[in-house]
Every structure is written in structure tokens, then in C-alpha cells.
Structure 1
Amino acid sequence: MVVPVSRALDAVAVSPVIEIGDLDGNLRRLGAALDGFGDETPRLVVLPELATSGYVFADRAEAQELAITRDDPRLVALGSRLGANTIAVVGFAELDGDDLYNSAAVLTHSGILAVYRKSHLWAEEKLVFTPGTDAGMLVDTSIGRLGVAICYDNEFPEIPRALALGGAEILALPVNWPLVPRPEGERAPETIQAMASARSSRLPTVISDRRGAERGVPWTGGTAVIDGSGWVVAEERDGVAAASVTITSDKVVGPHNDLFADRRPDLYRAHESS
């Protein structure tokens, strides 16, 4: 019998000022946001979706002008600011030949560890980007097995569940959540979905969202850290949400239940209407 091992991990979501079209300025501000994480503390740092370019493109041509390749030395330079035990995830518009992708790079002090391409495109993203071919990404890192998804990906419960079943110990979620109406006193629906996914798989989730507005689109400001019980344990203040979360492979809930062992995949099929 394998005895689950638990450990604490610093989880940080950072939401710096991002200006549409200002690639060089955004890269400078992202670098400044990462400058405080050069020590030896094990941690995950998450920055927003399309953080290098901005999000509300006038058209595909503008997005193409702001896109960079996955081996761009400016991305590598962002990672060089990190300590040896810090992993950062940053969203960028990725140029690959004639294709554009809404991507997220996993950065380390020594380079780019992996790149994920968003597979579920939202609204006008479909007019700009090519969808990725993977439902989220798993990466083995110095802080453990990391799951990565981007924004609308997480609204499909299959993705965080599959990442957790694949061994993800924590989920990095760069997002740009447009503000939508909700009842007074309620959290954003995207936050509620992330809380439910975290709870159902005991998967701590680190969300970096935008602040303010861009070209008339107001952002939710949903930057937060969610623990493995599904509770929001840190929300954005002055552009940062930070908390220590428990990383564990233990899925036991009470004396008689286990979130993974109790699954009945033989029953999970589409039901035909009568």
C-alpha cells in the first residue's frame, strides 16, 4: 500500500498591467513581475492568458504582428529571472509558420520547459487562432507534476479531471475572463467552476486573470488561488494573489470514500432519449 505524501507549495498568481499592442512594454512589465521570485523557495507563479500581447485584437493581422515563436529569447529571458525552484506559466500569442496559437509557456531558470496550445477557443479567438490538439498539458517539473490549461478549457470538466487522473498535483490556469452579469454577492461563474473542479479532484488551482478593461471589454479580475478542497484561499490584491497550498496524492474523503477509487467509468456514457 502506497502511503500518500503531502507537502506545502507556495502558489502565486500575478496580474500585471497589460496593454494591447505593447509587446515590448508587456515583456518589461512581466519581467518586473517575476523579479521577486529569484530565491530558492519552491513555488508556482502564474501570469495571464496572452500576457505578452493583450487579448482584444482588431483582427488576425494585429495578432500576427504581436505573436512570437516559442523559442523567442525574450521568453527565455523571463525565465532567467526565476529562482532554481520556481516554475512560471505565462500566456503568449504563438507564431508557428502560418499558424497562430493561444499558448502558455512553462518557464524555468534554465529555459522553456514546455508550451501548451489552447484547445477550446472562445468567441472571436476562433477567427484568430488555430486550436491546439491536446486537452490540457501535463509537465513534470521541480515542484511536481503540473497541469496547464487556458481559460475556456477549464469550463469543460473533462479537462481538469483528466489532468488530475494523469497525476497533476496542481493546475496553472492563465485566463482572460470578460465580466458577465451575476447575482449580487455571487462569485464569477468561472471561479465557481474552477472551485468545483478543484474540489472534485483535490486539485489546487492557480488562476491569473486580467484587471481593468481593454478596448471596451471589462475583465472579471478573477485572479485567485484555490486549494484542493475547492476553497478560494487567496484573491488578488494590488495585482497579486498568494497562498501556501497542500500538494498531495491523497484522494480519500472520510472513512468510506475516495474521489478516484469511487469513480464508475463503466456507467459514464451518454444516455439516449426515450
Structure 2
Amino acid sequence: MKIATVQFAPVLGNLDATIAKLRRLLEEAATADLVVLPELANSGYAFSSREEARSLSENVGESNFLSFLTEECWKHHFAIATGFNERDGDKLFNSAILLDSEGVIGAYRKAHLFLNEKDIFEPGDTGFPVFSLGDIRVGMLICFDWVFPEAWRIMGLKGADIVCHPSNLVLPELAQRTVPAHAVTNRYFVALANRVGKEKELTFTGNSLICGTKGEILAEAEATSEQVLMATIDPLIARDKSLTKRNNWPSDRRPELYREEGLTD
């Protein structure tokens, strides 16, 4: 199986320009089976207000951006996990959408909002789902979720083979150092698709990466350039959770000890 991450800079407020960029980059990823795009890939990130964010959002069922990606999936015979500025009634969500040539497979809404996102988006209400992509199990997390090991562990407990991580990272190197540790402690593959460029006062850090089940870096992008990463993996390796002949992380867990007296959660 080939995984690709597309590191690029969406054009804030200009969906046509964003799609034009992606059309070229997705051609470079044409041999992949699963492609991961950055956070909020349909809108850009540095909104001046909630009203601006809403004006650039789309409903999942009526999205020009997702229609374009569905056509690209049909054209290239791959699936895509993408960040998505989602409008649902009066609410906005920072979401990730998994889709293929037949349309949307599933959605995750970002649980842990970062900085000014708290003024714009609702906290995610989906929990941490894992979806079937053929025989492969795929989870999705978004950007600042990298800080929270509980989210990554839930993906492992639910049997994810691959976790897609659309991101707009602005804190240099921190997530890129931490995500491989989540991969090895949960024994699954991770594809982190970060963006590059600047929007207003924000500079995005690039360095997208694809990690193996031992935390090894299978592919890593530069910090500033738009580029496509590709790695060939055997996703079924993620189902072997044994660290030694006598240690298997799911069976060695001691969940009865993980709630200390006096802690509320």
C-alpha cells in the first residue's frame, strides 16, 4: 500500500486557486492508495472572524471541494483524508473527511481546539472513530490533537492500522518529534500532512512526515516547500502489537491502575 501526504499552502478565501494547486499536486500522488491533505484544506486557516470562517465553510453534502476530491479519487483510484472547514447548521467544525471515488466514508471533528479556533469552531462531537477502507482500518486526528496521548491510544484500542493527521502546525518541531512516539507506542502507521506558507501573523512549519510502527521516519518533507511525500507500507504489520515474545501492549495494559484516587478524569 502506498501512502502520500500533500504538503501545500491553501489559498485563504480562494477555493478555485486552492483546487488548481491541488490538481497539480494530486497528479504527483497518482500512484498512491491513500492521500492525506492538511487541516482546513478547503478554506485556509487565519480567519479574521467567525463570520469570515463561516463564509468559507461548506456543508459535507453540498461541497464543491469534496466533489472535486471525489472526482480526483475516481481519476487516480485512491482515497483521500482531508482537513475540512465544515458548516453544520449554525455550527462550524474543524473536521477531517475520509472519502473515495464513491464519496464520503466518514468524518472526524477536531476534539482539541488551538488558540483562536476556540472563537470560531465548536469542540468536536464525534469521539475518535476508526473507518474501514477496504480491509484497512483508518483513523483521523487533527493538528493540536498531537498533544493528547489519550486520543492516539483510543485509535490503537479501536484497531487503527493507519492514523491520518491533517495539520496546520505553527509550533516548530514539537509535533514532528512527538508523533513518531505515538506511532511506536501504539504500533500503527501515521501520516502527518502539514501545510507551509504564511497567513497574516502565522508561519506554518511544514516537515510533513510518514511514520512506521517502530516510530521510524519513512518519509519527511522540507520546512517551506510544497511537495508530495510517498511511502510504501504493509498496513497489516500494525496488527502485530508484540514488542517482545512476552510483551504485547494491549494485553500488558493495566487500566485498573490508570485512575488515581482524587483525579476526576
Provide TM-score, normalisation by structure 2: 0.90
The answer as to whether partners of 1:31 and 1:78 remain within 8 angstroms in 2 is: no
Q: Could you tell me which of 220, 226, 238 is aligned with 1:235?
A: 220
Cα distance in structure 2, aligned partners of 1:73 and 1:220:
28
1:158 is matched with 150
Larger proportion of helix: 2
Alignment partner of 1:60 is 2:50? yes
Q: Check conservation: 2:39, 2:166, Cα contact below 8 A.
A: yes
Offset at 1:214? Answer: 1.5
Partner of 1:183 in structure 2? none
Instruction: Deviation per CA, 1:219-255: give whole Å up to 9, x if none.
Output: 1113110111111110115512211123221111122
Aligned residue number for residue 5 of structure 1: none
1:193 aligns with 2:178: yes
Instruction: Judge conservation of contact 1:191–1:222 (CA < 8 Å) in 2.
Output: yes
1:221 alignment partner, one of 195, 206, 216: 206
For 2:257, the equivalent position in structure 1 comes to: 267
Separation (CA, whole Å) in 1 of partners of 2:70 and 2:80: 7
Q: Distance in 2 between matches of 1:49 and 1:100?
A: 14
CA contact (8 A) 1:37 1:81 kept: no
What residue identity is the alignment partner of 1:60?
A: R
**Structure-2 separation of matches of 1:244 and 1:226:** 11
Higher mean alpha-carbon deviation, 101-110 vs 237-246, is at: 237-246
Determine if contact 2:108/2:127 at 8 Å carries over to the other structure. no
Shift in Å, 1:17:
3.0
Q: Which residue does the alignment assign to 2:71?
A: 80
Q: Is the 8 A contact 1:47 1:89 kept in 2?
A: yes
Cα distance in 2, alignment partners of residues 260 and 122 from structure 1 = 31
Corresponding residue for 2:61? 71
CA–CA distance in 2 between the matches of 1:129 and 1:229? 34
Letter in 1 for 2:36: V
Aligned structure 1 segments of 4 or more residues deviating by more than 3 angstroms: 35-39
TM-align CA RMSD: 1.8
Q: Could you tell me how far apart the structure 1 residues matched to 2:7 and 2:30 are?
A: 18
Percent identity between the two aligned chains: 33
Displacement of 1:144 in angstroms is 0.7
Cα separation, 1, equivalents of 2:135 and 2:144 = 25
Aligned pair partner of 1:21 in 13, 18, 33: 13
User: What is the DSSP-based 3-state SS (H/G/I as helix, E as strand, rest coil) of the residue aligned with 1:253?
Assistant: strand
Work out whether residues 97 and 107 of structure 2, in 8 Å CA contact, stay in contact via their aligned partners in 1: yes
Q: Equivalents in 2 of 1:97, 1:28: separation in Å?
A: 28
Deviation at 1:24, TM superposition (A): 2.2
Residue by residue, what CA displacement relative to the aligned partner does 1:128-177 show, whole Å, maximum 9, x if unpaired?
00111133221111251101111112311011111111011100000000
Contact 1:70 1:115 survives alignment (8 Å): no
Contact kept in structure 2, 1:47 and 1:174, CA below 8 Å: yes
The answer as to whether partners of 2:29 and 2:228 remain within 8 angstroms in 1 is no
Q: 1:119 aligns with which of 97, 111, 120?
A: 111
Number of residue pairs aligned between Structure 1 and Structure 2: 256
Aligned-pair CA distance for 1:113: 1.3
**Which residue identity does 1:232 align to in structure 2?**
I
Q: Distance in 2 between matches of 1:37 and 1:211?
A: 18
Relative to the length of structure 1, the TM-score reads 0.87
Q: Which of 240, 243, 247 is the matching residue for 1:250?
A: 240
Q: Does 1:93 align with 2:85?
A: yes
1:103 corresponds to which residue?
A: 95
CA offsets, 1:115-137, max 9 Å, x none?
A: 21111111100000011113322
Match of residue 166 from structure 2? 174
1:140 alignment partner, SS class: strand
Q: Which runs of 5+ in 1 are unaligned?
A: 1-8, 181-187
Question: Which runs of no fewer than 5 residues in structure 2 stay unpaired?
Answer: none
